[in-house]
Amino acid sequence: MKIAFYKYQGAGNDFVMIDGRNYPNLDLSKAQVAHLCDRRFGIGGDGLIILKLHALYDFEMIYFNADGGLSSMCGNGARCLVHFANFLEIIKKETTFLAVDGPHEAVVLGEDQIRLKMGDVLEVKSFGEDFILDTGSPHYVKYQNNISVLDVNQLGAEIRNAPLFEKEGINVNFVEEQSKNKIAIRTFERGVEAETLACGTGVTACALVHHLIHNKEEKHNKIEVKTQGGDLLKVELDYTEDGFKNIWLIGPAKMVFRGEIAL
């Protein structure tokens, strides 16, 4: 069987994209997904996304990690999928679609920029000097100096595989403060089990924590986040007595190439 695919990247976070409308009976095994995401023997990607139509929304996002397992929400993958849906003319400028953590709104801004609404975050837990929160996926946020020289794969794996997190896994973010409204991050992603060049839910998690530390008195804020992928992502948020609401992740999403592969 041959399937058509599209390769996307958002701030260096890359994905294999499949238009599921063309394959209504497609049922990929974990091994097949892992093969497609393999950078030496497959297409290569941090994950694989299938776009499916949905009766109540413009489309549905089915996301798999690079290890082949179904995953939680992926912010950069969702932004890439919105760009893909626009390319396929399923949507125009605005959309509401369904992901594993519920419905999301998004806007195509032009010049490959996508504005994605994330779910509300009502709780941020302190963990010693670090933080834990869920932005559609679970994240561990740790402030660190000189993150450019960190061994993220080693340090991230140690936290991700600690007894408290080992079973479900957790994404680990190392954050370096650059200013009151700007940070740089590096992320170790569960499912990929390595550092990725960007992580949308991780960018969001780090921005929310940074707001709590430096801007808690402000009810609205925009934080810029520098990723290893080189692109600057932005997080807009409202901070209320009930937590974070109206959270928007804004940044680039681009098609890299397209092709066909045999399964």
Give the residue numbers marked as catalytic. 74, 199
User: What 3-state class would DSSP assign to 118?
Assistant: coil
**Residue 149 to residue 187: CA distance in whole angstroms:** 13
CA 60 to chain centre: 16
The total number of residues shown for the chain amounts to 263
The candidate with the shortest Cα–Cα distance to 63, out of 100, 37, 88, is: 100
Instruction: Enumerate long-range contacts of 24-33, CB under 8 Å, 24 or more apart.
Output: 26/50, 28/64, 28/263, 29/68, 30/67, 30/68, 30/69, 31/68, 32/68, 32/263, 33/64, 33/68, 33/69
Interstrand relation of 2-10 and 13-19 (parallel, antiparallel or unpaired): antiparallel
94 touches 106 (CB < 8 A): yes
Helix segments in the chain, DSSP class H: 30-37, 75-87, 152-160, 200-214
Determine if residue 214 is left, alpha or beta; phi over 0 gives left, psi from -120 to 50 gives alpha, anything else beta. Answer: alpha
The pair phi, psi for residue 69, each rounded to 5°, is -85, 145
